Structure 1
Amino acid sequence: MQFEDLMLDESLLLAASDKGYKEPTLIQQEAIPLLLAGEDVLACAATGTGKTAAFVLPLLQKLLDEPNHGRLPKALILAPTRELAFQIQHVIHHLGKANQPHIAMVTGGQAPTAQLAYLENGCDIVIATPGRLLNLVENEQADLSEIEFVVIDEADRMLDMGQGPDVANVLATITTAFQTSLFSATLAGSGVELFANALLPNASRIEVDAANQYAQQVSQQVYLADNREHKQALLAAVIKQTDCESALIFCNKKERAEEVSAFLQSQNISAQVVHGDFNQADRRERTRKFRQGKVKALVATDVAARGLDLPQVSHVINYDVPFRGDIYIHRVGRTGRAGQTGTAVNLVEPHDHKNLQRVEHHIGQPLPVLKMKGLTPKAKSNKTKSKNKDKPRYIAKKDRAE
């Protein structure tokens, strides 16, 4: 299928081509026709499969077909974080440059007076985080009475952050009959399935299997480490390999992220750190340097797993294995995007084994254990042994040179 087959306006096709979209991804092929037909959609798709364009293109088409001649917004997009909200705005600006829809941003980290000015001056689309928008609605400072098109993006992340009630309360204030689409990278955990069914009981359902998606385009690897010093040495060796052009490194805690960034800098590896304590301007500046290749390694907590525009990451490295499988999927989704290949590396100390088991159970497959020449673990781990000797748990691989 080509974008021309989706019955989109010529201006949108040109904008998609200019942005480098060659042919629609699977989620775009399935979601765009349904949304153009006015149906509610529940879509489960992995990070990096083009889901933002899957709802932005039909939204823009609707605004082209029925221009908004009033001051009140016709479309509402809810996102869990301000970073994701700004990334969605960025995509709309690129794809909608022909009709240039007016957008009001309502997120944390911005002065309320500026956000009110966007709304009062009139807009076509509101992009918002749920809590901030609900506050404005309850104070009668935001009017959603003419909303026709609602998108709930990364619903699983919203529920993880406790935003479910705010989303429900915002939607309850809209009295018009609006079309709804809900996008989530996974339906597992935090009651996403129940939440989605409550909001969209009759929605058309689309599922793009995240685990299979990564298996096709992302090489997933495990290196076993004896201790912290061994893990740090493995980390440096992976980053120094010739195929590692850029590395997004995840830690479970901000203190660990700071420690890892300092270690990499001590090894003459250019590195920056990003976590929740940094303000929005600092995050943007640090990720900008990484995106432009001025910094080879970006060390982050899961604040960077969603919403940051990092289109060309060659390696995702889990310095800490995440606590849950769905978090692993979001992390790994930062590489191998838009059909590119990528590498996901997991550095596993003994205390990480339980988390690794959860990840493998979630994605439905064991991850192969590799060895780094000169950095083979001294201790034998029971994770390399199968409970059933006839069915080895891991795929044997030859030692890999630095």
Structure 2
Amino acid sequence: MFSQFALHERLLKAVAALNFVEPTPVQAAAIPLALQGRDLRVTAKTGSGKTAAFVLPVLNRLVDLKQKRVEIRALVLLPTRELAQQTLKEIERFAQFTFIKAGMITGGEDFKEQAAMLRKVPDILVGTPGRMLEQLNAGNLKLEHVQVVILDEADRMLDMGFSEDVERLCGECPNREQTLLFSATTGGAGLRDMIGKVLKDPEHLMLNTVSQLNDGTRQQIITADHNQHKEQIVQWLLANETYQKAIIFTNTRVMADRIYGHLVAKDIKAFVLHGDKDQKDRKLAIERLKQGGAKVLVATDVAARGLDVDGLDLVINFDMPRSGDEYVHRIGRTGRAGNEGLAVSLICHGDWNLMSSIERYLKQSFERRVIKEVKGTYTGPKKVKASGKAAGVKKKKTDKKGDKKVVAKRKPTAKPKPNAPLASADGLAPLKRRKPAPAAE
């Protein structure tokens, strides 16, 4: 029960109004420590309730502030606009019975309107690192009085090249008392380096091992001959799988647009989402998917983080992601909050090694699936069996008496090599093992 936490009564009222009853494992582990003021580094799978795990402690810190709202008190950094919008909504929901105000600044929105919002000084500022730095450099953003910094999806921010931006923004908060870092993957050396720079004696909470990050999702691969064959498989899956909503991931914007065009031509209600779309179109695509106006979303990895859609139970990787962490985030769009999901990856000959490396990273073996209606010829790399003949190995043969003969494999016209041992005159006498004679002076 959330009542076990030392939360303000106004926050407990909001929790009850939102029908939150039992805290998730990440909430049960992180909230008590965060309420104590500890720095945290938390790894937990997508859809596990990480947002509430940091929002509630931050609101609890600010709910009884006596000072007038003249400075920003908490900063939340995230990698994408979509995740920032989702987090802002969560903050507003949990703060509905308080006087705490939150604001958001991300790329793709009017710069001057954001500057005007900053002049009103929200208690909590949510945003992406790039636009925050732009407002900071323009003199519109003051962070000296920030008490808490939250880095959500920190691994993704590093992947997107925000490492220096994040470190600078943390440096602009010299009076911060607490830093909370959340991610869905363990990350690599870059993330460890950031933890060392921005966290002070952190508590490390590993809620899931990599192999457990998506235990509620069936993971399958289907081999394909080429991209046109992949498109046929996609259309078969959308026509025959049982699902409420689906997302198809590609590695390029061009391929996303191509697949979207094919789906629309087949009268499938779909939207496309990638970096070339302006903010208005991106919002529309996500809202239509959430409301059921579209059943399928075709997207690049811009949608792999922060997209939380009820009923999204099918993920298709048209292109394999380029890393194990990105794969985890993609398929994390399904199988959320304890629900089951299906993730299908389409594998051509050029995808096999990448797929195998992701299997090793996850310490899992994906289920191999064959659809007879759209079966191709490629089934994976051929296993080459080494044979004596293929390897050029000399074979031993036995004559009728059981004596062993050595038959050298050579071309009929081949010349003997220099210093090679001589055979007997008739070529039939068995060769005896002996040391070669010393070379002539």
Q: Calculate the TM-score normalised by the size of structure 1.
A: 0.90
Could you tell me how far apart the structure 1 residues matched to 2:13 and 2:351 are?
A: 47
Q: Specify the alignment match of 1:400 in structure 2.
A: none
Establish whether residue 192 from structure 1 lines up as the match of residue 191 from structure 2: yes
Change (3 A) 1:214 1:158: closer
Q: Specify the alignment match of 1:169 in structure 2.
A: 168
CA contact (8 A) 1:134 1:170 kept: yes
Q: Specify the alignment match of 1:246 in structure 2.
A: 245
Deviations 1:334-360 (A, max 9, x none): 011111111111111111112201211
The one-letter amino acid paired with 1:221 is Q
Change (3 A) 1:291 1:251: same
The one-letter amino acid paired with 1:274 is L
Question: 1:123-138, aligned counterparts within 5 Å?
Answer: 123-138=122-137
Could you tell me how far apart the structure 1 residues matched to 2:315 and 2:278 are?
A: 23
Unmatched segments (≥5 aa) in structure 2: 387-441
- More deviation, 302-311/130-139: 130-139
CA contact (8 A) 1:106 1:127 kept: yes
Superposed displacement of residue 374, structure 1 = 2.1
Unmatched segments (≥5 aa) in structure 1: 388-402
Could you tell me how far apart the structure 2 residues matched to 1:383 and 1:197 are?
A: 46
The one-letter amino acid paired with 1:297 is V
Q: Calculate the TM-score normalised by the size of structure 2.
A: 0.82
Question: 1:13-32, aligned counterparts within 5 Å?
Answer: 13-32=12-31
Change (3 A) 1:372 1:344: same
Q: Specify the alignment match of 2:121 in structure 1.
A: 122
Q: Specify the alignment match of 1:82 in structure 2.
A: 81
Superposed displacement of residue 53, structure 1 = 1.0
SS at match of 1:145: coil
Question: 1:233-382, aligned counterparts within 5 Å?
Answer: 233-382=232-381
Superposed displacement of residue 21, structure 1 = 3.1
CA contact (8 A) 1:160 1:190 kept: no
Q: Specify the alignment match of 2:414 in structure 1.
A: none
Superposed displacement of residue 77, structure 1 = 0.8
Could you tell me how far apart the structure 2 residues matched to 1:376 and 1:68 are?
A: 67
Could you tell me how far apart the structure 1 residues matched to 2:346 and 2:53 are?
A: 34
CA contact (8 A) 2:167 2:194 kept: no
Q: Specify the alignment match of 1:390 in structure 2.
A: none
* Percent of aligned pairs with the same amino acid: 37
Could you tell me how far apart the structure 1 residues matched to 2:15 and 2:372 are?
A: 45
Superposed displacement of residue 117, structure 1 = 1.7
Change (3 A) 1:383 1:144: farther
Change (3 A) 1:371 1:14: farther
Q: Specify the alignment match of 1:182 in structure 2.
A: 181
Q: Specify the alignment match of 1:158 in structure 2.
A: 157
Q: Specify the alignment match of 1:391 in structure 2.
A: none
Could you tell me how far apart the structure 2 residues matched to 1:19 and 1:42 are?
A: 27
Superposed displacement of residue 295, structure 1 = 1.1
CA contact (8 A) 1:185 1:210 kept: no
Q: Specify the alignment match of 1:222 in structure 2.
A: 221
Superposed displacement of residue 317, structure 1 = 0.8
Change (3 A) 1:73 1:364: same
The one-letter amino acid paired with 1:98 is F
Deviations 1:162-209 (A, max 9, x none): 111111111212231421001112232461112112211410011122
Deviations 1:352-402 (A, max 9, x none): 112201211221111110122322332342279999xxxxxxxxxxxxxxx
Superposed displacement of residue 256, structure 1 = 0.6
The one-letter amino acid paired with 1:235 is V
Change (3 A) 1:338 1:173: same
* Number of residue pairs aligned between Structure 1 and Structure 2: 386
The one-letter amino acid paired with 2:254 is E
The one-letter amino acid paired with 1:101 is I
Superposed displacement of residue 214, structure 1 = 4.2
SS at match of 1:223: strand
- More deviation, 60-69/30-39: 60-69
RMSD between aligned residues: 2.2
Could you tell me how far apart the structure 2 residues matched to 1:385 and 1:109 are?
A: 53
Could you tell me how far apart the structure 2 residues matched to 1:303 and 1:57 are?
A: 27
Superposed displacement of residue 100, structure 1 = 4.2
- More deviation, 277-286/371-380: 371-380
CA contact (8 A) 1:46 1:210 kept: no
The one-letter amino acid paired with 2:58 is L
